[in-house]
Amino acid sequence: MKRIIVTRAAVFAAAIAAGAALSAAELAYDTLISHRGESVDAPENTLPAYKTAVERGFGFECDVYLSNDGRVFTFHDKTLKRTTGGANTNACGDVSWGELSRLDVGAWGKWKGSKFAGTRPALLEEVLGLARDGRWIYVEVKPGPEIVPYIKDVFGRQTQATPVNTLFIVGNTNTLAAIKKAMPQYKAFWCLYSRKAWLDDAAPWTAEEIVSVLKATGSDGVDFHYNPEITTADMISHVKKAKYYGVRPHGNNQPVLSFATFAFFAAKHQSRVGLFRVERCKSAAIGIT
């Protein structure tokens, strides 16, 4: 079922202002994704953020790490420092779940003194309990392949998250290959920046290089940062012709005007890329799948 939210109106208005006249009919959005949960209205990567997304009718994206005693939990950064307000500066994988469960990730930055004080990191099994058909949970796997058996175990002990409502996005190619080997029924996308480093002058990934990695890992497609100079129709066509499920450019925390450019691109090449998703985050973001 297609769902439309106010966030889209801002995107369309910006697109028109940029000279790209779009209508709702041209943009067939089927899935709305909250980035790290509804991270404007609740602390990122927490159960309140995920639950708010579900209550509003959206799917969501979460990031997962592995504790040193084998629990899979949601967190974005490599260290615990930022969203614990500096209370714990260890790497995510260097602490036990006992330690993690005592951390407050609901009182940092603008959340200090808010109703979310005392919120702890979420366990993957808690997150999967929010899965609903008709929307997606995107599980971004951060560590190396050592986490995969634990993820598989969590999925095996529940029935709500399934291949029709949950997929993986993975940056580490060894982890990506391990996910596809262990859980082949689930879609998994290679997640990468459009360039080979987070530098404006770094060499971009070519379509041929991307396809080569997808073949080697058994991936279903690619999830990469949207760049209008790199994310071209020819690149998408090349990957699609290689029989991959989809190409999902994303644009997290980009200025609204870049959304307009992306929206115009998406509308123009809808038949090439398949389904669209709008990703709601700190600045709202757009992607396609």
Neighbour tally for 118: CB within 10 Å: 9
Tell me the two tokens of residue 235.
């690149």
Residues 36, 219: Cα–Cα separation, whole Å: 23
Catalytic annotation present for 238: no
Three-state SS letters, the chain: CCCCCHHHHHHHHHHHHCCCCCCHHHCCEEEEEEECCCCCCCCCCCHHHHHHHHHCCCEEEEEEEECCCCCEEECCCCECCHHHCCCCCCEHHHCCHHHHCCCCCCCCHHHCCCCCCCCCCCEHHHHHCCCCCCCCEEEEECCCHHHHHHHHHHHHCCCCCCCCCEEEEECCHHHHHHHHHHCCCCCEEEEECCECCCCCCCCECCHHHHHHHHHHHCCCEEEEECCCCCCCHHHHHHHHHCCCCEEEEECCCCCHHHHHHHHHHHHHCHHHHCCEEEEECCCCEEEEC
CB-based contact 250:262 (threshold 8 Å): no
Active-site annotation holder among 35, 225, 238, 269: 35
Residues 103, 244: Cα–Cα separation, whole Å: 41
Residues 105, 77: Cα–Cα separation, whole Å: 12
Active site residues: 35, 76
